[in-house]
Structure 1
């Protein structure tokens, strides 16, 4: 099965530089107003994880591996039942789920975590399809999980996050599980920050709604950059690695601009 299901329909030259400028701007603004919401709530990365019970902190990585594994199965099978939804609806559903998860504090936040992970992965798959890639293809499923390697809105580091754009692995029967294991430690920190924000007394529901809104916006933007680069490499007939380096150079000179 060909990973790319939508091919260029015209002979017009692709404006690579303009496309890279647009992707760099989107990357810098990833999360947009959702990040400002988190800042207003005081949901910063520093110190959040220390507020979680030791047992929860110690089990975060295993819980993340489990959540990602389940999300891969459910997100994929759900595509035959529920069509991809518009971005605003994904954000609305995710926000409502975060509020519900935070309403009861840590116990409900833990129960909501795998559901939100599935929704985020499904959103990423939808972006892949939007760019013309087949989410059923092993290589595309690999990329969808790899998008999670871009940390998250509570801990934004352009230089570190850009590494996920060029990371690839040889595909095999265990390839997806391997990338889940590699992504899990970083994602566990991100999800732990989310849990800690939701566990705050009284503000748990508000924090849960805000973090889910920010996460959905963030990973939607990151997925557009990831699959936008892959599509651009095909359309412009150049190497993906070359485009990543050009994007990296733009990221170093582009000022931060939140949407």
Structure 2
């Protein structure tokens, strides 16, 4: 069966343009390539040189960072309603979050792997807050459990996990895999409340996200492993890091916004017919 032509799509031309931008964001060059362009050296070679103890520290720091995100990041977001009236979506404060993350990157560049247990939770929390800000700008209610987990899920969508066969796995496949964990965790949290952080489904969800996010963190740490990297380059690496996930968030929550209007099937069909390379 041939794909439905874009001309036959129920999406308006404006929404098709939004979907195109979303697909471009979701299919942008990998974080590996972006970091390599900053440091001027292949990230894979740097990762191969990292000792095993470094990966253990990364995994531990990633788990701690994600747990802190769930507990702390949303507390600093402004409410989406005033006296029961829903506020109109505002543009996300991407630059503000980039500057904050660049500051933590400067510290990481100066102190290297030793700073990871302190830097990563702060950086990840700032990134998570930025993702929530982007979700809010696309009409999501960031105080819903499902939305909170969708924001956390973005950190697992920024690239392949170590168990993926290829980096070229499509957005809807990755999203579908993670969505199953989100659904189970949402159901448990809805039943037990947010105090039930120890729910089995939520812990499995965090582990799934962590296994994927830790790959991206390893690449970031590898990029910072250059001798005498310094604060400036450390800040640049962190800026590339958050920008990568901000793009993913923009793409993901744009798709969700359009799905609320047109339905998932119509949006997915339109998404698949867009050819970024040819501009069609």
TM over 0.5: yes
CA distance in 1, matches of 2:270, 2:254: 14
Any conservation in 2 of the 1:148–1:187 contact (CA below 8 Å)?
Answer: yes
- With normalisation by structure 2, the TM-score equals 0.73
Deviates more, 1:130-139 or 1:159-168: 159-168
Change (3 A) 1:110 1:94: same
Q: SS at the partner of 1:134?
A: coil
Shift of residue 210, structure 1, vs aligned partner: 2.0
**Cross-structure match for 1:19:** 18
> Does the alignment pair 1:254 with 2:276?
yes
Larger radius of gyration: 2
Shift of residue 205, structure 1, vs aligned partner: 2.6
Any conservation in 2 of the 1:147–1:222 contact (CA below 8 Å)?
Answer: yes
- With normalisation by structure 1, the TM-score equals 0.78
Change (3 A) 1:87 1:22: same
CA distance in 2, matches of 1:123, 1:25: 20
- How big is each residue's C-alpha offset from its partner over 1:157-216, in whole Å with a ceiling of 9 and x where there is no partner? 443555333341222233443321111112112111212222322114344212211121
> Does the alignment pair 1:75 with 2:69?
no
> Does the alignment pair 1:49 with 2:60?
no
CA distance in 2, matches of 1:48, 1:161: 27
CA distance in 1, matches of 2:152, 2:95: 22
**Cross-structure match for 1:102:** 109
Shift of residue 52, structure 1, vs aligned partner: 2.6
CA distance in 1, matches of 2:230, 2:49: 13
> Does the alignment pair 1:163 with 2:173?
yes
Q: CA RMSD in A?
A: 3.3
> How many residues are matched?
239
**Cross-structure match for 1:28:** 27
Deviates more, 1:94-103 or 1:48-57: 48-57
* Residue number among 199, 214, 223 corresponding to 1:188 in the alignment: 214
CA distance in 1, matches of 2:244, 2:278: 15
Shift of residue 38, structure 1, vs aligned partner: 4.0
**Cross-structure match for 1:202:** 228
Q: SS at the partner of 1:115?
A: helix
Change (3 A) 1:241 1:181: farther
CA distance in 2, matches of 1:30, 1:90: 21
- How big is each residue's C-alpha offset from its partner over 1:73-124, in whole Å with a ceiling of 9 and x where there is no partner? 110122259x996211211221121011111122124421111011111110
